[in-house]
Structure 1
Amino acid sequence: RQRELELLTGELNSTVQQSSVRITALEGDIGKRDGSIEELRATVAQRDGAVKEHLDKIGGLETTVAQRDATIGQLDHDLTETKKALRVTSESEEYLLATIGELKKRGFDVPPTALPIVNGRVVRVDLVHGVAVVDKGKDAGVKPNTRFTVYDGSQYVARLVIHDVQPTNSVGIIRLVADGQEVREGHKVTTEIP
């Protein structure tokens, strides 16, 4: 019996020892899993932070787009209103010019309208035909019969009476040329009366 008891005790001790080894291994596995879970939690937290950051950026971009859309809408409205005002002004100008023309035909003395001061340069000259081209046109406020004074530096050269106006240049007849002078490319022109 004693022998049996010793055998049983040995088996029991062996089983307890094996169980203890298994428990230690399981505890190690649990520790590793706990570490993995913490790593996963940290990764999820990082991803959540990145997602929130991207959502914030998207929200900011949506706000910027909405502001730009509002600005574009306002600019479209302003452009439409400006075009309307320009059309009304243009129609008024045409009416006034027609009225002035009619008054002149009837013999009334109509003083010239004030023109904007336009400064430019002679870009082409045809002395045979007595004409010159200047680098300013309708876009700068030049109209037929606009009178330019031509200068070489500060020296008076001639007058130029415009008869053909394009958007960015105009052609005029050379008049009142100073003695010993001739109009050349590069000469300054101005509508300002000295």
Structure 2
Amino acid sequence: MELKTRYFVQYSSVSMINSFLIPEEPFTSISIGIRDLETDFIFTLVQNMFSFPIFVVLENDIFEQGKNIILERNIPSFKFSSDGFIFKIDSFDTLEAICDITVDLALNGISVFIFYGQGLFKEDLVPSRQWNKPVEFKKLDFQKVETFIDVSEVGINIFSKNNKFNSPRKVSHFISASYSLDVESSDI
């Protein structure tokens, strides 16, 4: 019998919440920790939680392999700095390809942001980061954002207004059954 990769789900810590300049109300913040972050984990979660379009924001340069995937598949992007890209995703194939790139970046210590909502535009999702201040999306109207996800090398943080995802127990229903919930480390 193969052991499933374990994950935990908790309400986010204050330091995680404070690392972003977003309105506290009505967003609930949930953290999902996982030791071995994989494409399947993020792809399944995002696929189960959202419909299209979904927006993915990469702050830093994409590795050569990622650039090749984007060129080969002709994935449209909005370049907002010398090395930042925003993708509007409208298909499962594109979502899976971008999730591959997301995991590669996250495992190398680079955050990736995923947005879902109504009336979002790529140009409004440009992040502003300063070493001593929270990440801010200055042009973004957070009234239009239903859910915002920060992907990092140790898991993901979900900031959501949707009551389908407003507790660790509810979020766990959107994670693939091929992963195992660590109940003792979770707020369930």
Q: TM-score normalised to the size of structure 1?
A: 0.20
**Which structure features the higher share of helix residues?**
1
Which structure is richer in relative contact order (CA contacts within 8 A, separation 6 or more)? 2
**Which structure features the higher share of strand residues?**
2
Q: TM-score normalised to the size of structure 2?
A: 0.21
| Bigger radius of gyration among the two | 1
